[in-house]
Amino acid sequence: KPAGLTVHPAPGHRDGTLVNGLLAHCPDLPGIGGKMRPGIVHRLDKDTSGCMVVAKSQAALMSLQRQIAQRSCSRRYLGLVHGVLPREEGVWDGPIGRHPVDRRRYAVVSEECGRQARTHWRVLERLGDYSLAHFQLETGRTHQIRVHCSHGGHPIVGDPLYSRCRRLPMALPGQMLHAVELGLDHPLTQERIVCSAEPPPCFQGLLRRLRTPGA
């Protein structure tokens, strides 16, 4: 999925979504998983790019959703964050729920107000005032990586909700967060499938610029 593409229709955004495109390509999808989210197993935020899986049968949908619930489906992300992460690797563990003031956002909240969320991270490269990190989701809450990074003091570069008022090294179309790898068991054959996607040109261009300061 490219950055800038909304996954499914919502109030005020009925057209131009991934679901609209899927329905044009696969007319049988409406009966799979409901009218508004046909075939959608999981979602990516509008401005997050990368790997997604879509089910083309009810059996496949149930199998894939079960894998996500049982955490046997692996989801790995690349993210560029502000600042220097304090260690080479770690875990952010904090319940996530609606922000108490801004209802567009989510936040780390008390256990009574949120759902368990756990994000593993590992530094891949330190680039001056930025860090390129690998993230692996143990849970899949809305905005999870973005919220945990922001709560930890290292918001995702270009994030319009959780990294406001931060100077950027170049104009960006959205947050520098990319679903680089998705691993799952085929619903029929049980064969392990691992899909990967290269980061988009803007992500790679920003990394090149940070690797050659002054160029």
Residue 79 lies in domain: 73-211
Per-residue pLDDT tens digits for 33-87? 666 678 888 889 999 999 999 998 889 999 999 998 888 999 999 999 999 999 9
| Residues 89/149, Cβ–Cβ less than 8 Å | no
**DSSP 3-state of 81:** strand
Per-residue pLDDT tens digits for 187-196? 999 999 999 9
Q: Is residue 33 part of a domain?
A: no
| Residues 107/95, Cβ–Cβ less than 8 Å | no
The model carries a pTM of 0.90
Q: Is residue 65 part of a domain?
A: no
Q: Is residue 174 part of a domain?
A: yes
Q: Is residue 19 part of a domain?
A: no
In the predicted structure, residue 215 carries a pLDDT above the cut 60: no
Distances (CA, A) of 105 to 150, 151, 203, 215: 11, 12, 24, 37
Q: Is residue 188 part of a domain?
A: yes
Q: Is residue 35 part of a domain?
A: no
Q: Is residue 38 part of a domain?
A: no
* CATH number of residue 136's parent domain: 3.30.2350.10
Task: Measure the CA–CA gap between 17 and 33, rounded to whole angstroms.
Answer: 17
| Residues 168/153, Cβ–Cβ less than 8 Å | no
At residue 28, the pLDDT reads 75
- What's the total number of domains in the chain? 1
Task: Measure the CA–CA gap between 91 and 64, rounded to whole angstroms.
Answer: 25
Q: Is residue 89 part of a domain?
A: yes
Active site residues: 45
Written as six digits, the tokens of 8 are: 């499914």
The burial of 159, by beta-carbon neighbours within 10 Å (0-12 exposed, 13-18 middle, 19 or more buried), is given as: buried
